[in-house]
């Protein structure tokens, strides 16, 4: 599998605070990568730099062998990197269906039309299909303000995937979602990701989810990457357990499959 | 096209009705309707901006520019064709908006509102000091012709009325389509969440820039029509109270439908006329009370009378 995203010595500092230092990451096609780390470790900063929202202080970002440093979020979206948000970013006075229709039309158009209707039959059908794919078709006509949190999260991700991106960055897809809904939600999202053949990188605090869905893990600590390895290996890394997962609560018993990982505060 | 057929037939029916009314109604009534149609064009521009979450307190700038363009074209350049001078009014407004828009499209909320008002007051200041353009008195408009035909002064009012109806029909059809187009919805999307719009690959500033120009072109047309109908322009057209009047009408109409703007503009002119008649010294109080009633009982404007609230519902 070829590399689609590559960062070289990526760094970001806000005054005296170093949010990211020497981040060297390679993401391959169709790979599912988990990003873990305590609050303030630089996970979201990394996503913000890759999507052009924050300008790195130093370093390079290549996407499909093209330097994308300095491009705006909208350019980066157009060339195939999409993201979702920790707090869903939706059009709250519109319906779920309208949100998706707008996402589809805005993502796919090179020039927006001023006289043809937005809600053509084909656009609405495509949007309903997308809602169905994420299991939220029942909410199509509901205004976003009336949607439960899990549905909003799914809608946010569905909108990010509207442009069929090559790389999807999910910022804490399960935050704010009830414990018992986390796995069904991730099942839905990961099925959609696999169908779309996109590579996916997601930030997650729940180690059970990381363990179940990712091929590889990047562990951030204090702006640095302290581990970049296949999931199993990364999660048992000594430093990762000390700084990210928390050694006190983590235990590893031979022969016992079920493990409870709790992140250190 | 199927999608717009019902609304378009409604617009066409309203147009025919207006033409018929114009032939029968007394002069004062058709004049009042002409002015309200002209102002409705300005307010549609304002509604386009409102739908994108922006309030312009300076549409008077383009209303005035449109009026003065018509006046100057006739007075100083001897261009008198009605269609031509209206086109000039729109082009001049559009060009000025394209320049100011470069700055304004970066601002939102109160900053946008105040800057738009500032620009319109600059024009007001310039016109007040321009003795050649009649200073505070303004000047009269040369009589216009249509493809070489000059209607006499007795017929001119009716002809301008028909022209206003035609302009209103064209604008209503095009803008109704615009409201439902991807760019129209992009405005609502920007109002709701600019970050998401940016991450959908679209520049909110560029969309706002285009909407600002469109609003200015419509205001220019409205100002031009007003100048043709009243036969006079003065700097008051750029004064902030004039812009405030447009905002008043926009609140009255709401942003839901193009047709609501025409109804609101007409109601506004009627209310003001009768308020002035009833209370020559306190007519503003009647307008103020009307505005309060609208804000309390119809916060989304007149059109909300016709629409059923959909909030909260819809889960099958």
Q: Predicted ipTM?
A: 0.83
Half-sphere exposure of B226 (CA within 13 A, CB side): 28
- Chain B residues within 8 A of A145 when measuring between CB atoms: 311
Q: How confident is the model at residue A142 (pLDDT cuts 50, 70, 90)?
A: confident
Give the residue among B178, B262, B166, B264 at the shortest CA–CA distance from B4.
B178
- As a whole number, mean pLDDT of residues A30-39 equals 87
CATH of the domain at B214: 1.10.3470
Query: Residue A187: CB partners within 8 Å, gap ≥ 6?
Result: none
Measured in degrees and rounded to the nearest 5, phi and psi for residue B45 equal -60, -45
Measured in degrees and rounded to the nearest 5, phi and psi for residue A15 equal 60, -120
| Residue B120: alpha-carbon gap to chain centroid | 15
Tokens of A72: 């705006």
Query: In this complex, do A163 and B184 lie within 8 Å of one another by their Cβ atoms?
Result: no
Q: Parallel, antiparallel, or unpaired for β A3-14 and A58-63? A: antiparallel
Cα–Cα dist A259/A257, whole Å: 6
- Whether the per-residue pLDDT at A258 is higher than 60: the answer is no
- Whether the per-residue pLDDT at B316 is higher than 60: the answer is no
pLDDT higher at B96 or A205: B96
Query: In this complex, do A94 and B180 lie within 8 Å of one another by their Cβ atoms?
Result: no
Query: In this complex, do A115 and B174 lie within 8 Å of one another by their Cβ atoms?
Result: yes
Share of residues in chain A with pLDDT > 90 (%): 8
Residue B47 lies in a domain: yes
What digits encode the pLDDT tens for the residues B204-254?
Answer: 999 999 999 999 999 999 999 999 999 899 999 999 999 999 999 999 898
Query: In this complex, do A113 and B183 lie within 8 Å of one another by their Cβ atoms?
Result: yes
- As a whole number, mean pLDDT of residues A132-161 equals 88
Tokens of B126: 């310039």
- Chain B residues within 8 A of A140 when measuring between CB atoms: 314
Residue B288 lies in a domain: no
Least confident of A21-25, B68-72, B222-226: A21-25
Q: Which of A97, A115, A157 to mutate to test the interface with B (most CBs of B within 10 A)?
A: A115
Total domain count for chain B? 1
- As a whole number, mean pLDDT of residues B2-24 equals 85
Q: What pLDDT, on the 0 to 100 scale, is given for residue A248?
A: 44
Q: How confident is the model at residue B280 (pLDDT cuts 50, 70, 90)?
A: confident
What digits encode the pLDDT tens for the residues B179-189?
Answer: 999 999 999 99
Q: How confident is the model at residue B96 (pLDDT cuts 50, 70, 90)?
A: very high
Share of residues in chain B with pLDDT > 90 (%): 53
- Whether the per-residue pLDDT at A228 is higher than 60: the answer is yes
| Residue A170: alpha-carbon gap to chain centroid | 1
Residue B276 lies in a domain: yes
Cα–Cα dist A229/A215, whole Å: 9
- As a whole number, mean pLDDT of residues A243-251 equals 58
Q: Which of A51, A85, A106 lies nearest to residue B200, judging by beta carbons?
A: A106
- As a whole number, mean pLDDT of residues B94-99 equals 95
Residue B150 lies in a domain: yes
- Angle subtended by helix axes B153-180 and B258-278, to nearest 10: 140
Chain A interface includes B198 (CB < 8 A):
yes
Question: What pTM was computed for the model?
Answer: 0.86
Measured in degrees and rounded to the nearest 5, phi and psi for residue B232 equal -155, 145
The H or E element that residue B252 is part of is helix B240-253
Residue B298 lies in a domain: no
Cα–Cα dist A225/A229, whole Å: 11
Give the residue among B28, B86, B96 at the shortest CA–CA distance from B58.
B96
Least confident of A77-91, B13-27, B90-104, B147-161: B147-161
CB B265 within 8 A of CB B219: no
- Whether the per-residue pLDDT at A67 is higher than 90: the answer is no
The H or E element that residue A34 is part of is strand A32-36
Q: What pLDDT, on the 0 to 100 scale, is given for residue B246?
A: 95
Q: How confident is the model at residue B2 (pLDDT cuts 50, 70, 90)?
A: low
Q: Which residue has the tokens 């009047």?
A: B245
Residue B137 lies in a domain: yes
Per the prediction, chain B carries an average pLDDT of 88
Cα–Cα dist B115/B56, whole Å: 9
Q: How confident is the model at residue B289 (pLDDT cuts 50, 70, 90)?
A: confident
Q: What pLDDT, on the 0 to 100 scale, is given for residue B315?
A: 37
Q: Residue A79's CB: how many other CB atoms inside 10 A?
A: 15
Residue B247 lies in a domain: yes
Residue B246 lies in a domain: yes
Measured in degrees and rounded to the nearest 5, phi and psi for residue A248 equal -55, -45
- As a whole number, mean pLDDT of residues A109-134 equals 84
Per the prediction, chain A carries an average pLDDT of 83
Cα–Cα dist B197/B186, whole Å: 8
- Whether the per-residue pLDDT at A265 is higher than 60: the answer is no
Least confident of A189-193, A238-242, B155-159, B245-249: A238-242
Domain enclosing residue B261, as ranges = 2-280
């Amino acid at each position: 599998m070829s590399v689609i995203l590559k960062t070289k010595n990526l760094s970001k500092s806000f005054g005296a605070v170093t949010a990211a230092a020497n981040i060297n990451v390679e993401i391959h096609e169709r790979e599912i990568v988990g990003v873990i780390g305590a609050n303030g470790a630089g996970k979201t900063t990394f996503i913000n730099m890759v999507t052009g929202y924050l300008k790195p202080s130093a370093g390079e970002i290549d996407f499909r062998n093209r330097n994308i440093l300095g491009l705006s979020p909208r350019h980066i979206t157009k060339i195939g990197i999409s993201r979702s948000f920790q707090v869903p970013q939706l059009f709250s006075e519109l319906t779920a269906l309208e949100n998706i229709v707008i996402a589809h039309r805005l993502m796919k158009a090179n020039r927006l039309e001023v006289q043809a209707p937005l809600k053509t039959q084909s656009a609405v059908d495509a949007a309903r299909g997308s809602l169905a794919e994420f299991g939220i078709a029942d909410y199509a006509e509901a205004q976003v303000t009336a949607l439960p949190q899990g549905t909003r999260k799914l809608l946010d991700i569905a909108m990010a995937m509207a442009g069929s991106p090559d790389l999807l960055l999910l910022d804490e897809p399960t935050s704010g979602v009830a414990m018992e809904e986390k796995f069904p939600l991730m099942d839905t999202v990961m099925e959609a990701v696999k169908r779309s053949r996109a590579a996916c990188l997601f930030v997650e605090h729940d180690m059970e989810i990381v363990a179940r869905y990712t091929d590889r893990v990047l562990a951030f600590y204090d702006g640095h990457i302290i581990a970049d390895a296949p999931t199993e290996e990364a999660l048992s890394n000594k430093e990762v357990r000390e700084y990210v997962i928390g050694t006190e609560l983590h235990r590893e018993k031979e022969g016992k499959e079920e493990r409870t990982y709790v992140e250190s505060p | 096209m199927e999608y717009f057929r019902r609304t378009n037939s409604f617009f066409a029916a309203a147009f025919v009705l207006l033409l018929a009314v114009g032939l029968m109604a007394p002069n004062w009534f058709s004049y009042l309707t002409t002015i309200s149609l002209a102002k409705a064009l300005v307010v549609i521009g304002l509604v386009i901006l409102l739908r994108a979450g922006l309030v312009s307190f300076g549409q008077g700038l383009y209303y005035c520019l449109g009026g003065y363009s018509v006046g100057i074209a006739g007075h100083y350049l001897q261009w008198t064709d009605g269609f031509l001078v209206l086109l000039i009014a729109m082009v001049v407004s559009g060009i000025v908006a394209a320049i100011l828009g470069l700055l304004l499209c970066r601002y939102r909320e109160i900053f946008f509102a105040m800057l738009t008002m500032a620009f319109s007051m600059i024009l007001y200041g310039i016109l007040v000091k321009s003795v050649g353009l009649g200073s505070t008195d303004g000047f009269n408009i040369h009589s216009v012709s249509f493809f070489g035909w000059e209607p006499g002064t007795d017929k001119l009012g009716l002809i301008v009325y028909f022209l206003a109806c035609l302009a209103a029909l064209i604008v209503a059809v095009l803008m109704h389509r615009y409201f439902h187009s991807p760019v129209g919805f992009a405005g609502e999307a920007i109002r709701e969440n600019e970050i998401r719009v940016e991450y959908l690959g679209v520049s909110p500033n560029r969309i706002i820039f285009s909407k600002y120009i469109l609003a200015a072109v419509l205001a220019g047309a409205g100002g031009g029509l007003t100048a043709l109908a009243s036969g006079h322009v003065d700097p008051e057209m750029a004064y902030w109270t004039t812009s405030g009047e447009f905002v008043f009408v926009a609140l009255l109409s709401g942003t839901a439908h193009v047709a609501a703007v025409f109804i609101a503009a007409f109601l506004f002119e009627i209310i003001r006329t009768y308020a002035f008649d009833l209370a020559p010294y306190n007519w503003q109080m009647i307008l103020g009370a009307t505005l309060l009633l609208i804000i309390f009982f119809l916060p989304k404007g007149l059109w909300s009378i016709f629409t059923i609230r959909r909030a909260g519902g819809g889960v099958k």
